[in-house]
Structure 1
């Protein structure tokens, strides 16, 4: 046997072993029993699911979809796939503040509530309103960069990524600056309760946070009713006033305020933190952005695709449906694996490669269809300004300690990113 034949047989053997390993990874994966290793790096599992189990059935009867085309179909068809979580969340949360919040907020509802809240909210997030925020956002970012320059040793999450959306969303609600301190902890607790599995301590923290957040917002809303702001720029005033005769109940108002404040915080924090980390992991792409700062717009989309801030979504089948020849019965809970779909080789060339000039790049980081994230334009602007101005100011930044992820699987980001800026 020639050396060439031996090498070919060895390659075939290695490939067969890799296929068997991937098949086992896809077969054994359970969303209700995720490991620490998966939370750190879910992408090997995502690749295995895409190849071997794009319609993955779990022991609890739920199904996970991972292909881009399948998620796109679900997002666009609100008649066949429901966002309502009352049936799913009652066993998980019981009759608790977390249950009330997560079954009243915009994202986990179908029309007519979804339509009413979204219509009211979008009036304060018009392109003109978002453009008017840009000067203030630039001033905020530059102020944070000045403070970081003075310190030298910084945490890119605490000192930068998480500080930006807290201020931006606080400004949208015209929230006094000295009242914004608890926002991040409330957000982490409430959104953390959406993880596939929870400890009792996590449930207790989430319920306590909803209760405290709701009480604070009730007081803020009472003050705003007494002294209304400009509904064109003040989201709270707009939500209180309603739209075309449509008004929210007190519960709907408070719980959707919590949702907006949390959603605007988490996605942007993760976008900025993930991006600054990946630039260091991909020095060639960092050099490209350094040579051509105008790439920042395509870069933002690539950061969103490559490390989606929100990795998982959920729906329920309203009617019998079929995916890839697999029948899914009405009532089945469906997990939407956004992190996998955004690396689907059927949709993207070299999906596991960061390419800051990638075009087209129709990722699903902000969902799609009627549930397209209402604040996606604002999040993109925050990311663009934050990352471009940071990179211009500190092109030679480097990590200065252990980068730690949050350990969560639904929302992918870092809890700490120690760095040196210079």
Structure 2
């Protein structure tokens, strides 16, 4: 059975047989450190909805992991995803207003232009991650925060280093890269924010200006502002890169579904949802119990860390018919790729738009592309490719 601190050699390539074992035999599965893996869809939904019993605050867990007061500790205990109400509610309200549907809708034309420019410049034998999937969210988030084009170079590496530090087991080198990335990104944002305060942007399109100004109920503190700008990059970069990359790989591996989508391009929205289900960019979430609780007949003590296995819940046979089948027309599709409850992903509308436009326009331009090589990213929490070589047959 699955132990996160000592994974089997084939886990990163194909974790799904291990998820099947969890669902069938141990949906509440103890770990050697006293934590538990939860894999049932209903259990994850319950946890997501109950922010009183199941806490997102990770100060106690992250102090020994990162070191109290270190850059990684400051970031991950201040950003939206690892906080509870009332702080979570206040920060989320301001971020949600900055990412309002009107603002996102205005981004669609620019997103299409970005995707088409990448497709126009695509080499005949590209790396679909480097040359396409990873570039799109970096440009979109750069546009959101109005980061000058010539200052966007370090963004991806910073994001990968910071999110890489969330893995269950870290090397000293990984930890140091994460600490350095937060430190460097924070210094950059302090300068960018000072420039933006001196010369505010359009509040309807410039998310950074919107975040600086806050809303009628208040403003973010400087630390909250900086760390949640980092969060916007991290949440929107790797997950969207993986959504696009995983989508291209899954469609390649299911030629019947690729053909169905080519014949019916109107299925692109449901196809994106199905990619999110079968190859969720975010495979695990975490919560901590605020009190003793019973889940699946097992009594779990207060202060216990819970690993929420999204990848398994998205294949739960109690919720999804024939869950191992990839079906671009699947409806309903109650996947948990964006989590749920008060912590449901604040940028889900933007992510869906990026996936829809990127995958739809790529497939229209290169309907017969071939994947010639692939390298998994080697993460537990996040699933995606670090490289995806292809041959284009336009």
- Counterpart in 2 of 1:157? 129
The 2-side partners of 1:308 and 1:385 are apart by: 18
Residue 308 of structure 2: SS of its match in structure 1?
strand
Tell me the alpha carbon deviations over residues 29-88 of structure 1, each in whole angstroms, 9 at most, x when there is no partner: 211112341111110100000010000011101011000000000001111110000001
Tell me the alpha carbon deviations over residues 232-279 of structure 1, each in whole angstroms, 9 at most, x when there is no partner: 221111111112242222111111110111111111100000010011
The 1-side partners of 2:198 and 2:7 are apart by: 48
The 2-side partners of 1:68 and 1:245 are apart by: 36
Tell me the alpha carbon deviations over residues 364-408 of structure 1, each in whole angstroms, 9 at most, x when there is no partner: 0000010000000000000000000000000011123x2001101
- Counterpart in 2 of 1:132? 106
The 2-side partners of 1:327 and 1:390 are apart by: 49
Q: Which has the higher helix share?
A: 1
- Counterpart in 1 of 2:154? 182
Stretches of structure 2 lacking an aligned partner (at least 5 in a row)? none
- Counterpart in 1 of 2:20? 47
Q: Please say if residues 98 and 211 of structure 2, whose CA atoms lie closer than 8 Å, have aligned partners that are also in contact.
A: no
Map 1:218-297 onto structure 2 (within 5 A).
218-297=190-269
The answer to whether structure 1 residue 411 and structure 2 residue 382 are counterparts is yes
Q: State the TM-score, normalizing by the size of structure 2.
A: 0.98
Tell me the alpha carbon deviations over residues 10-33 of structure 1, each in whole angstroms, 9 at most, x when there is no partner: xxxxxxxxxxxxxxxx2xx21111
1:114 is aligned, of 88, 94, 99, to 88
Map 1:47-126 onto structure 2 (within 5 A).
47-95=20-68, 96-126=70-100
Q: Please say if residues 48 and 343 of structure 2, whose CA atoms lie closer than 8 Å, have aligned partners that are also in contact.
A: yes
The 2-side partners of 1:90 and 1:290 are apart by: 50
2:280 is aligned, of 308, 312, 323, to 308
Aligned-pair CA distance for 1:311: 0.1
The 2-side partners of 1:407 and 1:256 are apart by: 26
| Larger deviation, residues 175-184 vs 319-328 | 319-328
The 1-side partners of 2:258 and 2:271 are apart by: 10
The 2-side partners of 1:333 and 1:141 are apart by: 40
Tell me the alpha carbon deviations over residues 141-189 of structure 1, each in whole angstroms, 9 at most, x when there is no partner: 00000001xx211110000000000000010001100000101100000
The 2-side partners of 1:46 and 1:54 are apart by: 9
The 2-side partners of 1:57 and 1:50 are apart by: 13
The 1-side partners of 2:16 and 2:40 are apart by: 14
Q: Please say if residues 105 and 259 of structure 1, whose CA atoms lie closer than 8 Å, have aligned partners that are also in contact.
A: yes
Q: Please say if residues 320 and 327 of structure 1, whose CA atoms lie closer than 8 Å, have aligned partners that are also in contact.
A: yes
- Counterpart in 2 of 1:23? none
Residue 88 of structure 2: SS of its match in structure 1?
helix
Residue 286 of structure 2: SS of its match in structure 1?
strand
Residue 216 of structure 2: SS of its match in structure 1?
coil
Q: Please say if residues 299 and 356 of structure 1, whose CA atoms lie closer than 8 Å, have aligned partners that are also in contact.
A: yes
- Counterpart in 1 of 2:3? 30
- Counterpart in 2 of 1:346? 318
The 1-side partners of 2:271 and 2:145 are apart by: 29
Q: Tell me how many residue pairs correspond in the alignment.
A: 392
Aligned-pair CA distance for 1:310: 0.2
Residue 153 of structure 2: SS of its match in structure 1?
coil
Stretches of structure 1 lacking an aligned partner (at least 5 in a row)? 1-25
Which aligned runs of 4 or more in structure 1 are off by greater than 4 angstroms?
Answer: none
Aligned-pair CA distance for 1:115: 1.0
The 2-side partners of 1:139 and 1:253 are apart by: 29
Query: Which of these two proteins has the greater Rg computed from alpha carbons?
Result: 1
1:198 is aligned, of 161, 170, 173, to 170
Tell me the alpha carbon deviations over residues 298-329 of structure 1, each in whole angstroms, 9 at most, x when there is no partner: 10000000000000000001111111111111
The 1-side partners of 2:42 and 2:204 are apart by: 37
Tell me the alpha carbon deviations over residues 211-243 of structure 1, each in whole angstroms, 9 at most, x when there is no partner: 000000000000001011122221111111112
Q: State the TM-score, normalizing by the size of structure 1.
A: 0.92
